[in-house]
Amino acid sequence: GRNNLLTSETSSSKSESEQISDFNAKWDFMLNCLKEFHREHGHVSPAAKLVYKGSNLGNWVHVQRRYFVARQQGLFADSLRMTDERIALLNEVGFLWDLKKPTQSEINEGTNWGAFYQLLKEYRLEHGRVSQTVNLVYKGKNLGHWLSTQRNFFQAQQQGILADSLRMTGKRIALLNEIGVLWDLKKQTVSYTNEGSKWDTMFHLLKDYATKHNHTCLSFREKYKGANLGRWVKTQRVNYSLRQKGQSSKHMADERI
């Protein structure tokens, strides 16, 4: 019964109703932690051992997946640990349920991947950067949710827990890097697959900096959103100077000028 279901996580000295109340309160608290993590990092795939604001969020996420799979397999006598309501609440933040195979929703998003990518490019062209708003709706599409899902896939892949590579291929990573997607908003993490994608990302960071500060005269050691933007600006000036002197122009093409 429910008492047997909860004894592994709550004190057996408490009554069944007290155990259920504690379990529900803890679950709600951890969901709010996950929502905060989502807003800060842009994804809901924390590392398994991650402690977030004093709570074992990474382990909790892992346990929710285990509960979901057990429920799907009919292993629970009741659905207290993973209710329909909880599934819906976790779906709202783009929870990655199955690491072995994609859900139907993920398959649909994968089929429309190119269309969402083009929409993201349009957004960047219009606004000058890739949105960091996880709930963004753009031209009637849940673009923020889609981008959050891409970060989920990337993070799971980096942790070695995504069984298939179809949901986040090297080509897709490269395409998202080209337009300056940050894989972790809190850490301002960018994954570079080549020099070109790194240049594009730094260029868009510089545009963002110029919009906020009305200049591009950074000090050499100045950092912006975790990137060594001052050093990069200095390097561009050096490359331009070398080109003007007739030396190698590999790193300063006409398009970049």
248 φ, ψ (degrees, to nearest 5):
-50, 130
Which residue, 186, 94, 101, is CA-closest to 149? Answer: 94
* Of 63, 80, 90, 82, the residue nearest 3 (C-alpha): 80
CB 249 within 8 A of CB 241: no
Query: Is residue 190 scored above 70 in pLDDT?
Result: no
| Cα dist from 8 to 19, 57, 68, 79, 102, whole Å | 11, 18, 17, 16, 30
Residue 1 pLDDT > 50, yes or no? no
How far is the C-alpha of 19 from the C-alpha of 68, rounded, in Å? Answer: 21
Average pLDDT over the chain, rounded to an integer? 80
CA separation (Å) from 88 to 31, 34, 103? 12, 14, 14
d(CA 101, CA 249): 46
Half-sphere exposure of 103 (CA within 13 A, CB side): 13
State mean pLDDT over 115-144. Answer: 86
Give the residues across from 55 on adjacent strands.
52
Q: Which two tokens stand for residue 248?
A: 């190698």
- Residue 253: band (very low, low, confident or very high) from pLDDT cuts 50, 70, 90: low
54-96 pLDDT, tens digit per residue, is 999 999 999 999 898 888 888 765 567 888 899 999 988 888 8
* Least confident among 73-77, 192-196, 233-237: 192-196
Backbone angles phi, psi at 122, to 5 degrees: -65, -40
Q: How many CA atoms lie within 13 A of 244 on its CB side?
A: 7
CA 103 – CA 121 distance, rounded (Å): 26
C-beta separation of 145 from 91 below 8 A: no
- 47-56, 96-105, 126-135 — most confident range: 47-56
Q: Which amino acid is at 36?
A: E
Contact 154, 177 (CB under 8 A): no
- By residue count, the chain amounts to 257
Nearest CA to 147 among 64, 32, 41?
Answer: 41
Confidence band (pLDDT; 50, 70, 90) for 3?
Answer: very low
Query: What is this structure's pTM?
Result: 0.58
